[in-house]
Structure 1
């Protein structure tokens, strides 16, 4: 999709090629233009392409009375800048008009490298506002000014007739100054560009070259509002957080580490299903031998937390039963883990989740008493820590069968953190005892 110099977007309908949504300038942020009037660049936005996805068996698309699953592709093309100038960073932001649209997968995903080595940061899993940020791979480097694309697998609130929204582009341009030095300037599209895709224009299936998501590519589910600037905080919300960590992960060989990471993801998803927590609406941050799950702000924690605990225990039992069956005559190391629950204000920051609640959560998870409990309690595969605040809110009142019985109150000191934790070994529930 090469830039052709016509059909620039000015907020009104323009004559543009059929496959081109708009061509628009990038203008300097702020009131002043940098000295020397360097070029601010431009971008051509292709018309989004839609693919109605088939089901997992390769059958027909979803029936009209079920939720729609659609893959949208957003191609765009950067204007080539004169010699000495280049793009250090470019960001494509997509906002859907329907707040009920949810992103199930994003491509490229967090951790992917682009074809020119650009690093990619992604925000918006589980939400209706998405953002891809392409950064130059090294200091002094710039992005190649050619065509790029992003893709989002969307869950729509109903069998869709059309999807609409707005596109915006921001960037950082490096350019020379008259003094002989170099500087960076922020640029952005003057207005968001509206788009609309109807079902009649959608293809069936998926385009060639679609990347399969990896567990680590689903690590970040944050959204950073494009209006937020340095010095401003992203939104902070009261949320329940769950962190888990696998015992003796680093002592395993490579093949076993891969198996454990797969088992970890499976256990987390199964626990969410048990607790009726929407996996795709959660914030998720993979950490190799551990995982951070941030529950949606509207979660009923009186129901979710007790069932997450049972779900973790049951799923671990299933994983271990299968593993022992696959190696009846050989050495078998059970998958065992520590888990910690806390709630407090959480911010979705640029590279993960931030806030004292998250820090305290991991201090509980890493505490010596919780580690010692897992070592000592050979009959269980799961030990759990509650923050004092969560314990007082939930366990004391016996929600969903949760009882103070079995919890031990301990003072936890990890690095500079000192606080009260309530820990217990969590038994396998009746659902998972049979056949273990």
Structure 2
């Protein structure tokens, strides 16, 4: 086998109608992953080998021609790393990527150790060209880079003719997963590629579009700080205003992370239209990050509203107003998002009547924040980074339909900056 070839394997029929013949359809060639130990990353330019924890891995593969009028409708490459603490910082192709022929790629796994690229044909009746493809991931390792290992699998959907003269689509898969191992001795030294600029909300894809196996192992549960936000009266806005609000929300969230020195690309993110879930890295220093996140949210939201007021001055100028909740606890990265009682409780607080009423009844502020009781006791009581217990009001949250009761601490002392109506609107 050539040095650059990891494995060749047959594609087997999985399900659906299929032509007569044996179980094998065609073949796939998997190249050996290429590795680059990255310089100029968060490890520092010229960081010594025993401290570098960022690596770029490339995964090439080749689709062979299919027989008898068959064509690839979809191909999915899955990469599962053996180390649970590996996290993907960047992926290419990225979310929303489209090739020159209109084929699209769906990408899953940012912030995780399980990655998926799904290559889809441009439109009904069209198929993917059988040729070489490749994917790449920038990884944050749990320890200095000595080796990276994992498993590759490939499955897809094939369009094929039937004896009746019609065409059908059936699922195909590799026979067995293929293990890979890349050591530092095999790696080149490289520099990070320029980060892609995604469409708003595209990086929020956190889970897979399909579960792995129904009886697969429980994904790792880690204690994470979680932040959720929701825009007030979003559904009452016009379509164009909804689009602006989603853009504003993304700007506010990213600005808050920047204020708190939190790596946006290392967080779990889940967009929900008028809301957003942010799951911070497991090693987050909550005593420092939480106060700065709060200040960053308040300042960024005020900036967004000042800008909106310049475009539409006057007392009726629309404002973006938000509810926010923070909580920490065990979180699992499940097949279609983030799971765990901590996430459930977070959204109970975010959607609670006391928090909604606080924002609705106080027009002097555009932001209200609820701490879970656990977070309040851990942080606010001790006054970390300027947090003050006096700024919070204790409320009881009860959601009878969900059989949930709990305590929350609400802070609403974020005053809107005065707007000068004499300010001319932006041209």
TM-score under structure 1 length normalisation: 0.71
Instruction: Pick from 179, 188, 194 the counterpart of residue 192 of structure 1.
Output: 179
Cα distance, 1:336 vs structure 2:
0.9
Q: Which residue of 1 is the match for residue 357 of structure 2?
A: 372
SS of equivalent residue, structure 2 residue 389: coil
Q: Contact 1:116–1:144 (CA<8 Å) still a contact in 2?
A: no
1:316 aligns with 2:301: yes
- State the superposition RMSD in angstroms: 4.8
- Pair 366,375 (structure 1): closer, same or farther in 2 beyond 3 Å: same
1:305 aligns with 2:297: no
Q: Contact 2:62–2:133 (CA<8 Å) still a contact in 1?
A: yes
For these two proteins, the number of residue pairs brought into alignment is 400
Cα distance, 1:292 vs structure 2:
0.3
Q: Which residue of 2 is the match for residue 413 of structure 1?
A: 399
1:151-166 equivalences under 5 Å are 151-152=136-137
Cα distance, 1:314 vs structure 2:
1.7
1:357 aligns with 2:342: yes
Give the Cα–Cα distance (whole angstroms) in 2 for the partners of residues 68 and 257 of structure 1.
40
Cα distance, 1:419 vs structure 2:
1.4
- Pair 417,338 (structure 1): closer, same or farther in 2 beyond 3 Å: farther
Give the Cα–Cα distance (whole angstroms) in 1 for the partners of residues 124 and 374 of structure 2.
45
TM-score under structure 2 length normalisation: 0.72
Q: Which residue of 2 is the match for residue 5 of structure 1?
A: none
Q: Which residue of 2 is the match for residue 122 of structure 1?
A: 108
Cα distance, 1:416 vs structure 2:
1.7
Instruction: Pick from 384, 388, 395 the counterpart of residue 399 of structure 1.
Output: 384
1:218 aligns with 2:203: yes
SS of equivalent residue, structure 2 residue 282: coil
1:24 aligns with 2:8: yes
Instruction: Pick from 368, 377, 388 the counterpart of residue 383 of structure 1.
Output: 368
1:34-73 equivalences under 5 Å are 37-39=22-24, 41-45=26-30, 64=46
SS of equivalent residue, structure 2 residue 399: strand
**Structure 1: segments with no counterpart, 5+ residues:** 1-13, 30-34, 56-61
**Structure 2: segments with no counterpart, 5+ residues:** 14-19, 421-427
1:229 aligns with 2:219: no
Q: C-alpha deviations, 1:376-431, integer Å up to 9, x for none?
A: 111111112223333333334443324154313123216424212424243238xx
Q: C-alpha deviations, 1:88-138, integer Å up to 9, x for none?
A: 864324478999986443234446678676772411x23566332457899
Cα distance, 1:372 vs structure 2:
1.7
Q: Which residue of 1 is the match for residue 325 of structure 2?
A: 340
- Pair 100,267 (structure 1): closer, same or farther in 2 beyond 3 Å: same
